[in-house]
Chain A
Amino acid sequence: MHTTQDLLQFIFSGLTSGAVYALIALGFCVVSNTMGIVNFVQVDFVSLGGMLMFSALFAAGLPMVPGLLLAVTGVALLAMLVERVGLRPARSDHHLVLIFLTVGLSIILRGVMKLIWGKNRMALPPLTPDEPISILGATVLPQALWLLLLTCVAIGLLTWFFYRTSLGLSMRAVASNPTAAAVVGIPPGRIRMTSYALAGALGGLAGVLVTPITTLSYDVGVLLGLKGFAAAILGGFGSFPGAILGGVGLGLLESLSAGYLSSAYKDVVAFVVLLLVLFIRPKGLLGRS
C-alpha cells in the first residue's frame, strides 16, 4: 500500500521544516551563549531575510545567488545595528528586562517592515524551477533539497568558524566563562555584535529558504521563530548539536503527528511532547545541568 510512501513523504516534510527550525534555533543559541538572553528579534530576522531577497530579486533585478548573499549579509548587518543601537545602551543587566527589550525591538522591526513592504502576502520564487522530484515514491520540491543542503553548508561553516577562527574561539570562550574571557582581554562588545551578526545571518538564511515554500509577509517569522525557540529549548538551550537535534526532532514530530493524528492539533502534539521532555529533562535533551 501507500504506507511506506506516506511515511517517507512525512519524513521529508518533517526534515524540511526541521532544517528551518534548526537554523533559527542556532541563531537563538549563538546569542544566548554570549549574552544569556532569549533574543526575540530572531523572529524578525527570518521575515527580513525573505523581504530583502524579494527586493533584491524584483527591485534590484539581481540573479538568485547574489540575491541570496545580499539578503543574508543585509540581515546580518541589520542585526549588528540592532545590537549596537537597541541593546548595548540598556541600563540593566536583568535578563527579563533585556528579553522584553528584544520584544520591543521586534515590534519596531515589524512596524518598519510593514511600512516598507506593506501588509500583503507576497510570493518569493524558489532557487531553482519548481519541478517536483520523486524519491522512492515520495514527492520532494527542489527547494526543500536546497534547504537541506544549504542548512548543512551553514552548519559546516559555523563549525569551522567556531573551531578554526580566532573570533569563533573567543566567542566560545565567552560562552564558557564570560569573566575569564574578559580577564584575558576578549572585547565583550565585539563578541556580542558578532553573535548578533551570526544570528541575523542564520535567521535571514532560514527566511530566504523557507518563504518560497510558505508565503512571504512581514510577520511570517513569528510562528517559525517561536518553533525555532522551542527547538532550541528541546535540544538544550545554548547547545549547537542540541539545536540541530531539537529542530529536526520538532519538525519530524510535527509532520508525523499532522500525518497520522490530526493536522489541526499538530502544534498541540508538538508542544505537549516538548513539555513532557522538559518534565523529565529540565535542561532539554542535550543541555548541561
Chain B
Amino acid sequence: MTAKEKILYFIYLHRTGLTVTGLTLALVLFPLFEDNPYTLGLTNLIAIYVIIVVGLNLFIGYAGQISLGHAAFFGLGAYGSAIATVTFGLPAWPAMAGVALLVALVALLVGVPTLRLSGHYLAMATLGGNIVVHTVMLQWDQVTGGPSGFPGIPFLSIGGFVFDDEVRLHYLLWSFALLALLLALNLVRSGVGRGLAALAGDETAAAALGVDTRRAKIKVFVLSAVFASIAGSLFAHCYSFISPDSFDIFASTDLAIMVVVGGMGSIWGSLIGAGLLTLLPEWIDVFENYKDLVHGLVLVLILMFLPRGLMTGLYEMIRNRWVLKGQKNAAS
C-alpha cells in the first residue's frame, strides 16, 4: 500500500467516527461564525427534530413499521415537563427523566396491543392515537391551557448556568441530538440493530432466524417514544411556551416525511431530512402564494426520483457516476 492508499483506507475504515468528529467540531464552532439569533433558532429546532427523527427512523427504517403518531409522544413529553415544572414546581431535569419514563410506560402499554397490527392498520392506529392525545390537549384546558397554550415554562439550567439564549441552547440541544445520533449509530451496528434490520427486510424470515420480532418491535417503539419525549421536554424548556398545534397529526406526518425524505434506515439521513423539512419553508418563503405548491413539489420530486431518500439516493448516484468514469478511463 502506498501512503495515499493507506490514508484513504484509514478514512474509509473510520468514516463514521470521522464524520461524527467533524460534525461535532462544526457544531462547536458554528455559533462563532453565525450569531444571528433567528438562524440559530432554526438550527436549534432542527436539533430537536433530529432527536425525534433518529428514533422514528429506527422504528420506520430499521424495524420496517409505520407510525403516523409520534407527535403524540413529542407532545406528551412537552406537556409532561410543562405541567411537572410549572404546576407542581418540580425541578426540570428530574422531571424530564420522570416524564420520559412515564412516556416509555405509556408507549409500552399502547405498543403491546398496537404493534400486533401491520401496514395500513398500524398507520391508522397510530394516527388515531395521535388524534386522541391532541384532542385531550385541546379540551382539557384546566390542565393543559387548551388551545391558547401553556406559557411560562422555565429555562433549563445547570448549577447557575441558565440556557436562556440561542447560543447556549445551541450547545444544549445539539449535545442531545449528537447523543441520540451516537446511540442510534451504535445500536444499528449491534446484534439488536441487525435483528431490527432483518425485521424490516422480512418479518417471517427474521423470526425464523431467531429474532423475537414482537419484542424487538415493542423495544424499538418504546425507545423512539423516549427520544420523542425528551425532545418534547427540551422543546418546552427551550421555547417556554407550547400549544397543541405543534403536536397534531400534521406534525406527525411531517416527522414521518423527514424520515422518508432523509432515507429510511439511514441514520445520517435523519439529520438531512430534519434539516431540509425545517429549512424548506424558510427557503421557499420568496414564492409567497405558491409556497404550498413548491413545498409539495419538492417532496414529490424527491420521493419520485430519489425514493431511497436524499442521503442514500445522492450517495449512490455519485458513486455510480464515479465507478462508470473509472471504467471508461480503464477502457480507453
Contact = CB atoms under 8 A, between A and B. Distances in A.
Contacts of A32: 120
B307 A108 contact: no
B124 A230 contact: yes
B283 to A, nearest CB: 16
Contacts of A115: 289-290, 293
B124 A104 contact: no
Nearest to A103: B253
B132 A96 contact: no
A105 interface: yes
Q: Which bracket fits the contact residues of A?
A: 35 or more
Contacts of B135: 264-265, 267-268
Determine chain B's interface SS by DSSP, over half rule.
helix
A163 interface: no
Interface string A75-109: 00000000000100111101111011101111111
Interface in A249-289: 264-265, 267-268, 271-272, 274-275, 278-279, 282-284
A82 to B, nearest CB: 11
Nearest to A113: B292
Interface string A117-136: 00000000000000000000
B249 interface: yes
B292 A110 contact: yes
B300 A104 contact: yes
B60 interface: yes
Interface residues of B, number: 42
Contacts of B290: 111, 115
Contact of A226 (B66, B120, B127, B304): B127
B292 A108 contact: yes
B300 A105 contact: yes
B121 to A, nearest CB: 6
A233 interface: yes
B293 to A, nearest CB: 4
Nearest to A101: B303
Contacts of A108: 292-293, 296-297, 300
Contacts of A96: 60, 66, 260, 264
Contact of A111 (B139, B260, B291, B307): B291
B257 interface: yes
Contacts of A100: 256-257, 260, 299, 303
A38 B128 contact: no
A111 B132 contact: no
Contacts of A229: 124, 127
Nearest to B307: A92
B129 interface: yes
Nearest to A86: B300
B307 A90 contact: yes
A45 interface: no
Contacts of A237: 120-121
A230 B131 CA distance: 12
A114 interface: yes
Given A103-B299, A108-B297, A279 B307 contact: no
A120 to B, nearest CB: 14
A112 interface: yes
A105 B296 contact: yes
B215 interface: no
Contacts of B303: 90, 92, 97, 100-101, 104
Given A111-B290, A115-B289, A279-B116, A271 B132 contact: yes
A110 B127 CA distance: 21
A39 to B, nearest CB: 11
B267 to A, nearest CB: 17
16 contacts: A90-B304, A97-B303, A104-B297, A104-B303, A114-B289, A114-B292, A230-B124, A230-B128, A271-B129, A272-B132, A275-B125, A278-B124, A278-B125, A279-B116, A282-B118, A282-B121
Interface of A: 32, 38, 86, 89-92, 94-97, 99-101, 103-112, 114-115, 226, 229-230, 233, 237, 264-265, 267-268, 271-272, 274-275, 278-279, 282-284
Interface of B: 60, 66, 113-114, 116-121, 123-125, 127-129, 131-132, 135-136, 139, 249, 253, 256-257, 260, 264, 289-293, 295-297, 299-300, 303-305, 307-308
Given A94-B307, A230-B128, 8 more contacts: A92-B308, A96-B60, A108-B297, A226-B127, A274-B125, A278-B117, A279-B114, A283-B121
A-B pairs with the 3 shortest C-beta distances?
A: A92-B307, A111-B292, A107-B296
